[in-house]
Amino acid sequence: HYAASKSRIDIGRFLIQRGADINARDKANQLPLHRAATTGSTGFISLLLNPPQGLAVSKPRLNTGDRVGNTPLHLAMESAHAQAAILLIEAGADRNRTNLEDLTPENVDGVGGEEQRRARQYVIDHCGPP
């Protein structure tokens, strides 16, 4: 989780090669993918979605909610990390999944303002409407 939150791809790759569970949960019920999405680490998200060849690694859980029901896509959109959101959507993240507040990823209140609007529009421009 620390490596994902700090975008330390080198450490993440090392841990995955040593058998770390990419779907391990922390106290907030978050996976490393949640942490990478929150920080917008497209490199770490890509590592989790496409682990090093030849390893028996479980598939990342794209639509797992944390303790408030937010999926990695919710967190990417909440933080206005459009590129991270696109990676998750292209990998199969559910754009219609709701959190405990009954909000879909593209409807969460996040950083707000113009930055949030631009991120939402960028995702729609690249992935189409939800």
pLDDT tens by residue, 1-53 = 889 999 899 999 999 999 899 999 999 999 999 999 999 999 999 999 998 77
Share of the chain above pLDDT 70, in %: 98
Residue 87: give the domain boundaries.
2-127
> What pLDDT, on a 0 to 100 scale, did the predictor assign at position 88?
98
**CATH at residue 88:** 1.25.40.20
Report the domain count for the chain. 1
> What pLDDT, on a 0 to 100 scale, did the predictor assign at position 54?
72
3-state secondary structure string across the chain: CHHHHCCCHHHHHHHHHCCCCCCCCCCCCCCHHHHHHHHCCHHHHHHHHCCCCCCCCCCCCCCCCCCCCCCHHHHHHHCCCHHHHHHHHHCCCCCCCCCCCCCCHHHCCCCCHHHHHHHHHHHHHHHCCC
**Average pLDDT over every residue of 107-123:** 87
